[in-house]
Amino acid sequence: MFLSATPLLAWLPASLLLLPITIAIYRQFFHPLASVPGPRLAAVSIFWQAYHVRRGKLFAPRLHAIYGPAVRIGPNEVIFNSKEAYDIIYGAGSPYGKSDFYWTMGYPPRFDWRLRRNVPDCLHLLCEFDPARYKLQRRLIGPTYSTSNMRRHEGAVDGVLERFVSKLRSMAGEEVDLMEWMHLLSLECLTAATLSQTPKWIEEGNDQGMMEDNYNKVWLNWSVLGLFDGAVLLSQLVPSLKRVITKLLTLPAADNPGMSKFYAFARSRLNERLNEPSESSTHRDILDDLLRLYRERPEFSEKYLKSMTMSNMAAGHETVASALISVVTLVCSHPDAKAHVREELLRMHTSGSGASAPLSLETCLTSLPYTQACVREALRLQPVVGVSAPRVVPAEMDGGLHLHGNRFPPGTVVGCNPFALHRNREVFGEDAAEFRPERWLDGDEQKIRLMERVSLAFGGTSRSCPGRSLAELIMYKAVPVMFSEFDIEVSVPGKLEEMRYYFLSMITGVKARFKA
């Protein structure tokens, strides 16, 4: 006798209601991470984290103040703010691989017959999941991006700085958007050093809305979408669904007309140089170094060449701009620090050691200790990444990670939020939440080395930023030029901790006057 379908259908709504309740109870009370403190809703659903990231809220420092060094911010994710966690997760030789979050920012993957994703071999260092391939890529480009080689491109940066100063002088202290102008400066410096040509947007005083769109659309989109790996996977399998998913999550489309315009300019220059006979080239830029590598090392493919060239601008224009915004905003918001910087620069110029601007990088690094300390302090308090750099406890660690009285099984997503880590009082002192450049000059070498080590300003030791020397070349030359040539005034629209921060972190809404 067949069972009637009516009772089964009657149970269906109850079953659909019971399933999420059962999942919530399991995650809250029986999950392997159930003992890890944190917001209750965060333990139940990733939507807690997505909600706060969608609003750009900087929640990590507050959560650590409430719950301690380990905080559960998702059903399977925990963040830390301790030096012990930093060493384990990001230290040299760490086996902790990147989490699925990074799929949303990389090239479209290849799928095998089991629908497993494989990263295409295109040299995308931020989103490279294969550790062996990553090590090979870093070895290949290492000499090109070494500190000594980057200094060869100092003249290109000087040329941009001179144009930047000239344009701002012509504006006679007119109020400008600091984000746009620091972006113009960083973009043109990077392009000049890489391609020996720039789009000349400084003279236009307009970045085509590129930074505004990228921060408020692209980075917002990626920062939230990356939390939903199932949605990312679906959009990769069926690209036409990406806009539907974006709308369902109430996110802006990751479109940027200004970026497209710039990329067209950069790709055009790249293709011209690629087709140029090597013996006729007179360029002495980073692309010249990469072209030489391409011609001498078969494993450095044309894909690698094009990807690395574009990455110079794509990976650097926002991060360098963010760092410069932080330095200018924080120094100008602290009158004593600003006065000290200008006094140090005045002494340097009047002593005859730096009679002409821009100062040499060597002078900036060896003879401007307070100015250099301000840059380091700004990168500490306002790092360019606003969320955890997520890693995964390796499967080969049978016992998992044991830290701060908890066990985190293999597969757990773990990481340190730079804003929280850089405010650790054991590492940076009781005043870790304050802007105090003097902490880098106090003379305790052991303490300074510890602060330098426990830093995510340029990524963790195991996956550090390959363009660090280029970024530092620009920052350590641009900051002295700006503060020696201008009396800078800033207007900050609110508390920094209440601004919007995504995976990329940037102080926004600041207006500035550069008075000659």
Task: For residues 373 and 341, give the distance between their C-alpha atoms in angstroms, rounded to a whole number.
Answer: 10
3 state DSSP class of 388: coil
Counting beta carbons within 10 angstroms of the beta carbon of residue 409, is it exposed (0 to 12), middle (13 to 18) or buried (19 or more)? middle
State the SS3 of 314-358: HCCHHHHHHHHHHHHHHHHCCHHHHHHHHHHHHHHHHCCCCCCCC
Write the CB contacts of 278 (distance below 8 Å, at least 6 apart in sequence): 291, 292, 295
Q: How far apart are CA 457 and CA 105, in angstroms?
A: 20
Compute the distance between CA of residue 378 and CA of residue 462 in angstroms, rounded to an integer: 23
CB-CB contact of 227 with 104 (8 Å) = no
**Largest Cα–Cα separation, the chain:** 103
Q: Quick one: angle between helices 286-296 and 257-274, nearest 10?
A: 50
| Residue 176 backbone dihedrals phi, psi, to 5 degrees | -130, 160
3-state helix, strand, coil in the chain (%, to 5): 60, 10, 35
β partners of residue 234:
none
Known binding residue 465? Answer is: yes
- Tokens for 187, please give them: 């973009």
Q: Enter the tokens of residue 223.
A: 């920062």
Binding residues: 465
Binding residues for heme: 465
